[in-house]
Amino acid sequence: MAVVRPEDLLSLLGISQNQVDCAGIKLTLAEIYLPAEQGFLGINSKNIPRYNALEARNNVFSLPPGAYIVRYREYVKIPDDCIALAIPRSSLLRMGATLYTAVWDPGYKGRGYGLLAVFNNRGIVLEKGAQIAQLVYIKMTGRTSFTYRGTFYGER
């Protein structure tokens, strides 16, 4: 396995140069939510809770400490011979917050979500459209037939 260079992502994904970062593509903030109810994850079923959208004031979110669901602005595609990992920006870490993310599976297409945890006792402020993560693509040893076609495939 190897990390895919930004130069290769341009042609592989058909994206513009302003969408790439030093080791992947930029993921920017679109929306922030709070879970509205309890979720459930069982052996054969799951219940993802509904979310309540937070309102941005003057295009910024002022967030006290806590857990938030963030939605990325970019519609991404993961080729069948790659996986991707979303890594939080170091600026976010230096502010006292981080993102928790899952593996972006081969074949996934859509606008993903992440879990933003604000640890800073004074909170943080994020502007809509600010880059909060970098999506790093990792080339597998070959294409897989185990591509993602789950609940969130093609989400917009």
Alpha helices in 49-108 (DSSP H): 90-94
List pLDDT tens digits, range 44-92.
Answer: 999 999 999 999 999 999 999 999 999 999 999 999 999 999 999 999 9
pLDDT score, position 142: 87
pLDDT score, position 127: 99
pLDDT over 70 at 151, yes or no:
no
Domain ranges of the chain: 2-30+60-139
Is 32 in contact with 116 (CB distance < 8 Å)?
A: yes
Question: Which DSSP symbol is given to 66?
Answer: E
Q: What is the CATH number of domain 2-30+60-139?
A: 2.70.40.10
Question: Which DSSP symbol is given to 141?
Answer: S
Pairwise CA distance, residues 147 & 142, whole Å = 12
> 41-77: string of b/e by CB count within 10 Å (b at 16+)?
eeeeeeeeeebeeeeeeeeebebeeeebbbbbbbebe
List pLDDT tens digits, range 114-141.
Answer: 999 999 999 999 999 999 999 999 999 9
Q: Which residue type sits at 141?
A: T
Residue 35, phi then psi, degrees to nearest 5 = -60, 135
Instruction: Return the bridge partners of 35, or none.
Output: 51
Pairwise CA distance, residues 72 & 113, whole Å = 6
